[in-house]
Amino acid sequence: MTNKILNRILIVGDSCRGKSTLASKISAKLGIPHHSTDDFYYEVKFSKVRDRKESIENIKKIFQNEKWIIEGTTKHLIEHGLHSADKIIHLKYKNIPTQWAVLFKRYLKKDGETIGGLYKLMRHVLYKKYHLGYRKRKPTPTEIIDLHKHKVITLSSFKEIDEFIDSL
């Protein structure tokens, strides 16, 4: 699957698809440090949002490095790495019921999750995927990376993800 050395990898995709897990596996295999956009977006994980300009400036420093793996879907944070990435990996569910099933399984396993939080997340991924409600005029991850499709690989199954990792 890969035909050149990958030093700068951007991993984007659907919620709960395995972006962090894939970043960790590639990082271990290639010896490249990995970061989550969440670490730049939040001052306190999932509760206190960092200043937008500060988070953009901080992640731009990583994008200037010779080697990096960044995973996440926060548009204003990934857009600065799209041009410099050697490969953009797009992790995508084939359909929304499959994604919802994974979100529900995660809800059952995670302490501190609420049914209200699960509902909001399930609604968010539906809106994001199909341009509904408050997401109506916002681009999907596919649209954001479309200008760079020559270096995008879309993976939609665990088998495809495993084959990609094995090809490195």
Per residue in 27-68, pLDDT tens?
999 999 999 998 998 887 667 888 999 999 999 999 999 999
**Structural domain includes residue 16:** yes
Partners of 36 in the β-ladder = 71
**Structural domain includes residue 132:** no
**Structural domain includes residue 87:** yes
**Structural domain includes residue 84:** yes
**Structural domain includes residue 120:** no
pLDDT at 29: 93
pLDDT at 128: 80
pLDDT at 117: 87
pLDDT at 135: 66
What's 45's domain CATH number?
3.40.50.300
**Structural domain includes residue 61:** yes
Ranges of the chain with pLDDT below 50: 1, 3
**Structural domain includes residue 112:** no
Domain count across the chain: 1
Instruction: Quote the domain boundaries for residue 144.
Output: 8-93+139-167
**Structural domain includes residue 121:** no
The pTM is what? Answer: 0.83
